[in-house]
Amino acid sequence: MIKVGIVGGTGYTGVELLRLLVSHPHVELTVITSRSEDGVAVADIYPSLRGHCDLQFSVPDNNTLSQCDVVFFATPHGVAHKLVPALYENGVKVIDLSADFRLQDAELWSEWYGQPHGCEALLPKAVYGLPEMNRAAIKQAQLVACPGCYPTSVQLGFLPLIENNLVDPEYLIANAASGTSGAGRQANVDALHSEVSDSFKAYASAGHRHLPEIVQGLHLMQSPDQAKAKLTFVPHLLPMVRGIHSTLYARLRVDTAVDLQTLFEERYANEPFVDVMPAGSHPQTRSVKSSNMCRLAVVRPQGDDMVVVMSVIDNLTKGSSGQAIQNMNIMCGFDEDEGLRQVALLP
């Protein structure tokens, strides 16, 4: 058994971590923090955890957290910068669900997140936690930056095409749509049910915080001699709670004669949480709800030079907390799907 702590347990990613970890056979939950709910029972905030979690929220304390083997950060951006260094020094494995360590360029991070980067010294130590691309590095890591939800769905869709240099890297488009839980649990007029219901809209079309993270990942998929990937990324808001559907577009190279269906099937054949659907399929978000699965479909419309990839995930599971636990399993030598074998909810 390993001792696990969660910093920031009152948000959606925090409670998703709890939902999954309470049934993990190798985990003992020992501490969960919240400054605003100090002393309040977790089950009083989230009745769904009654009978499964008897912890109370507490104020973050490095001495207590340092007694853990693994600490998850489910906090707003900038919080992990302050607390992670002491934990890292004490040998604790850290998995950060915020964006604090995702970007390797501190100045770029500051530009997109509107504050100075508070922990540049640890950036070279942070491993980007997309298992399908970085499994070997994650296994040896002490600090893992868990990918964002949009970046997970987009990168998994583009990965077989980019790493095989099959498409023009300077002409990539991602239209992605997310449920309202992606905005977090804080009060937000734009995420109110009466504002979102019976409507559909794009937002942040001039630039979203996840864009530099996706582009950084695309560059890592490329060989050094390739032209650097460029991406047009437009996110949308869906009138539902959970789920992301990303529709990706790329232009195939003139001499490309590869069987795309076979390419995707072979690339992900041994990946426990990526399902390449049969030719002609259109994956639905409800087919991955509350699961750690990413479902993909690839098509070449009219046999032309365009390729379209459809990628669906649950933004709170594979897009956040489930993927974080997948990383923990890799780091700790457990079966990668331990605690993550839930079947998606239907209807």
Is 308 in contact with 247 (CB distance < 8 Å)? yes
Strand order in the sheet with 274-276: 201-202, 231-237, 167-178, 244-252, 306-313, 294-299, 274-276
Question: What value, to the nearest 5°, has the Cα angle with vertex 296 and ends 199 and 145?
Answer: 85
Written as one letter, the residue type at 182 is G
Distance CA 58, CA 169 (A): 47
Could you give the residue ranges of the DSSP H alpha helices within the chain? 12-21, 42-45, 62-65, 79-89, 106-113, 131-140, 149-163, 193-196, 210-221, 260-267, 322-332
Sign of CA dihedral 217, 220, 223, 226: positive
Our answer to whether residue 119 is catalytic in this structure is no
Out of 53, 119, 146, 149, pick the active-site residue.
Answer: 149
Catalytic positions: 149
